[in-house]
Chains A and B, each alone.
Chain A
Amino acid sequence: MSEFFLSMEHISKSFPGVRALDDAMLQARPGEVHALVGENGAGKSTLMKILTGALAKDAGVIRLNGSEVLISDPAGALALGISMIHQELNLIPYLDVGQNIFLGREPLRSGGRIDWNALYAHTQAQLDLMQIDLDSHATVGHLSIAQQQMVEIAKALSRQARLIAMDEPTSSLTERETARLFDLIRSLKSQGVTIIYISHRLEEIFDIADTVTVLRDGKWVGTYPVREVTSADLVQKMVGREVEDLFKKEAAARQNIVLQAKNVSSAGFLHDISFDLYRGEILGLAGLVGSGRTTLARTLFGAEAIERGEIWIEGKRVRIDSPQDAIRCGIGLVPEDRKEQSLFLNMAVADNITMSALPKLSTAGLIDFRRLRRVAREYVDTLDIRTPSLTQRIRNLSGGNQQKVAISRWLTLNPHILIMDEPTRGIDVGAKAEIHALMSQLAKQGMGILMISSELPEILGVSDRILVMREGRIAAEFTREQATQEKIMLAATGTQH
């Protein structure tokens, strides 16, 4: 027996262009709740995927109870008693509680019939053991998220799980449901089950966890008894990243307001969002994944319904019910997911640039291809888009050049306002700086840019002003001079000083 039930040592994992884990470590004692924290992209999910067999590690060792184990697929992890409760629950909505818990392991009677009596009796026994009041015949799709989570935990326990990893388990639970989950976690702990607990909500970690491991940029920062750290310590360890001198935007002279949001709300996602965006500025929008930043962007752009509140553009109130309305008002949106929402992957560079400008480039419905090529050529030259030809398929370009094409498509429409969701995600450092320079250039020409980013150095380097969102609200606003990584992170996680 070793001191640790689980010991993941020297774990490394690379994806093309990214080192997701670099000599990371996670060691958890039997029967403890071990929190795993880090910024977006720190490597928490990758580490858990390796533990549960969803990804293969490039290097490193995993030990259970001191002996090395090989985990090659999810079934292997389950067989070792490792279960994971994902944020997106893995249940079959049309089947009932008992059928879900025993899926693939249904007790049989002679002759191949499922022994339903035994199945429901075992289910009831498991639920009773966990003191959960649920009907084993209830259809899972009719249960609340909290109840479905209980079913997942019951499923894990009925498979004799000795370690359960939970990814943001409280993200869609009410306070009372969270309290019940914590009761259950404490009782699991007393039965010797080890819990790996991933959460952005630092206050929860002080409620439930015994030990906390901090990851940053795929590296192990440290493991601490929860009693010996404060949330300010944790935040400082999570963000301690150097602000590389990627790009420093020159300060913009503040001009008039171009976009004004007043109490914008949408059911359950956005609550009373109010802010001003000035002509010529880059307004950074920071926050954790799930804090509502993308929803806000899509709502301003008319892709999501606005429930209450007003949007004013250049002093006039406007109604935006669809992307067409937004475009007419001079708003552009460069979405986060280039491949799914931004580009026509199998089409040529020229077509991707001019797609939105086609009405301008055609007479009586016929496209003037000579003009189309001229316009495309213009953007390829001015934005320095590196492509062998205008007819090259966009999927063959690098991420940075793809993003420039996505931006050019908006520029053909001369928008006053450009919303950019993670504009440099998955783009290499050199191209990042070019995109940042381009954004700065556009702002200087009078555009107002709202930039969503999960990378604090990018937020700090590029923004004139910074808004921080948390749980659908604007949690804080900083000027470029006031802002630090710690302040933003504290606001984003809702931690008091």
Chain B
Amino acid sequence: MTSAETDKPETKPQSTSPSISSLRNIIFRYGSLLFLILLLGGLSVASPSFRTPTNLVNVALQTSVLVIVGMGQAYTMMTAGIDLSVGSVIALSGAVAAGLAAQPANLPAGTYGGQGVAPVLAIAIALGVGALVGALNGVLYVRGGIPPFVATLATLAIARGLTLVYTGGYVIPATDPVLTFLGAGQMGPLPVPVIAMIILFGVLWFILTQTRFGLHVRAIGGNAETTRLAGVRTNRVIVGTYVLSGLMAAIGGTILMGRLNSAQPNVAVGFELDAIAAPVIGGVSLFGGVGTMTGTVIGAFIMGTLSNGMNLLGTDPYLQQVIKGVVFMLAVAWDFYSKRKR
């Protein structure tokens, strides 16, 4: 058989291809990282208070929830799905944790909270609620045939509504140090949310790159039918991604509750935009099949650094919304553009 001479150069690893296409590959692969470095560099020059170690830890702290929720979101997006319910799940899980743990005496009338449950158990239940909403999202999709965009839009409304019903619309204080440990704790020089972010990054990176589940997530986004015909139980995998996304949102919710020392029913309204923007900016494709955890973290930090920097530079908060929207729009346009190139 004649084989060697028909082998095309593009089958070799990317690094050996000619310089123009490798430059394009570098931009495709590391574009968001370069952008983050430029952003950090630019802000360090523009604002002396930005480059202080305290502020950099602060950026990490402020971005931690977005990183955690964005990584869960990235899993659903890699199956070519989406999870719009994350902002509401953040609010619901915070409310459940704080409400269950609260003593009735400390609560205004009209809330259903105040069960006086042990803080650790309250947090566990809150995380369970997040996973449950995720499971509902997944089942509505794979069993009910409702597209994820619509299914999770419905649970966005349901979870937010349940939060308002449960809290009666009131802020529920959370003062117990165990209850607020995830959000407000400190271990050595690092705040606990930053540590949680690092650990969860390790876990989700491992799942994505080293397990069947992770590989099948990307396979489903590439071609769901082929994956099913290869004997993969694709429905389980898809539901799994929504459970994961719900769980990550709930972890984000308990962190936020701890940082605010209270559960606020209107927290994280509109957070789904950030949680979708972070992975997309980091190279996770809205069409599925493509994405990394590292990219998602970079995307989240671009969003986080941008807000932190704009705050320090005194940018009008209303204008900040516009700028974030534009950055997201450019990332989506890039995704569509590179999809056509691929």
Q: Which residues of A contact B (CB under 8 A)?
A: 74-75, 78, 90-95, 99, 103-106, 108, 112-114, 131-135, 137-138, 141-144, 146-147, 176-177, 179-180, 183-184, 187
Contacts and interface: CB of A to CB of B under 8 A. Distances in A.
B12 A138 contact: yes
Given A114-B212, A131-B3, A138 B11 contact: yes
A75 B219 contact: no
A113 B214 CA distance: 10
Contacts of B105: none
A131 B6 CA distance: 12
Contact of A180 (B3, B225, B289): B3
A116 B227 CA distance: 19
A183 B229 CA distance: 28
B222 A135 contact: no
A133 B4 contact: yes
19 contacts: A78-B231, A92-B226, A93-B222, A94-B290, A103-B226, A103-B230, A104-B227, A104-B230, A104-B231, A112-B212, A114-B215, A132-B3, A133-B3, A133-B6, A134-B11, A147-B8, A176-B6, A177-B6, A180-B2
Interface string B1-24: 111101110111100000000000
Contacts of A138: 11-13
B7 A133 contact: yes
A187 B1 CA distance: 9
Contacts of B229: 74-75, 78, 90
Given A92-B227, A137-B13, A106 B215 contact: yes
A63 to B, nearest CB: 24
Which 5 A-B residue pairs are closest in the complex by CB-CB distance?
A92-B222, A104-B230, A104-B231, A103-B230, A94-B289
B111 to A, nearest CB: 42
Nearest to B285: A94
Given A90-B226, A94-B222, A103-B227, A135 B11 contact: yes
Contacts of B226: 90-92, 103
> How many of chain B's residues touch chain A, expressed as a range?
20 to 34
Contact of A144 (B4, B8, B12): B8
A131 B1 contact: yes
A146 B11 CA distance: 12
Contacts of B13: 135, 137-138
B2 A183 contact: yes
Contacts of A179: 2
A99 B290 contact: no
B210 interface: yes
A474 B232 CA distance: 46
Interface in B200-232: 210-212, 215-216, 218-219, 221-223, 225-227, 229-232
Contact of B210 (A90, A91, A114, A134): A114
B6 A180 contact: yes
A91 B11 contact: no
Interface string B300-337: 00000000000000000000000000000000000000
A99 B214 CA distance: 12
B342 interface: yes
Contact of A104 (B6, B11, B232): B232
Given A112-B211, A113-B210, A134-B7, 10 more contacts: A92-B227, A94-B218, A103-B232, A112-B212, A132-B3, A133-B7, A135-B12, A143-B8, A147-B8, A180-B2
A114 B342 CA distance: 27
Contacts of B3: 131-133, 180
Nearest to B220: A92
Contact of A95 (B11, B218, B231, B342): B218
A91 B2 CA distance: 25
A92 B287 CA distance: 13
Contacts of B227: 92, 103-104
Nearest to A54: B229
Contacts of B4: 133
A154 B167 CA distance: 59
A92 B1 contact: no
B241 to A, nearest CB: 16
A191 to B, nearest CB: 13
A50 B342 CA distance: 34
Contacts of A141: 342
B215 A91 contact: no
A142 B11 contact: yes
A143 B11 contact: yes
A141 B218 CA distance: 14
B7 A142 contact: no
A131 B7 CA distance: 12
A137 B15 CA distance: 13
B289 A92 contact: yes
A99 B223 CA distance: 13
